[in-house]
């Protein structure tokens, strides 16, 4: 799966996890050079406190384009701990793997 904004690939992984319709990418698959920490507060009742990223991509500033849960509060949310999800302003492209 790729997360793309304005033609720029900002994350790419074959190991995303889908929760509530959002693809969560492993943190090391995200192009963090585009991101800065956001001060936006949010706490999910079953995932815990979220941390947000702002982005500057191709000269465009995008507030709160991505979020992740650095320390989840339930076993149900544990699989996405430190995985990054993106706002729907991004375009998502499914990667097809060809073996052999």
Domains and CATH numbers, the chain: 2-91 (2.170.150.40)
d(CA 83, CA 58): 24
pLDDT of residue 95: 54
Q: For the ranges 39-43, 65-69, 92-96, which has the lowest average pLDDT?
A: 92-96
**From start to end of 1-99, where are the E strands?**
2-5, 8-12, 17-19, 22-25, 35-37, 43-44, 48-49, 51-57, 60-68, 84-86, 91-93
pLDDT of the residue at 6: 85
Q: What is the reported pLDDT for 93?
A: 63
pTM: 0.89
């Amino acid at each position: 799966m790729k997360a793309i904004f304005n033609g720029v690939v900002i994350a790419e992984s074959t190991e995303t996890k889908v929760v509530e319709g959002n693809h969560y990418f492993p943190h090391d698959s995200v192009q963090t050079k585009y991101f800065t920490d956001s001060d936006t507060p949010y706490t999910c009742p079953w995932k815990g406190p979220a941390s947000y990223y702002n982005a500057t991509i191709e000269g465009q500033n995008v507030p709160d384009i991505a979020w992740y849960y650095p320390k989840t509060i339930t076993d149900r949310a544990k699989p996405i701990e430190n995985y990054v999800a993106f706002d729907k302003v991004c375009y998502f492209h499914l990667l097809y793997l060809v073996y052999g």
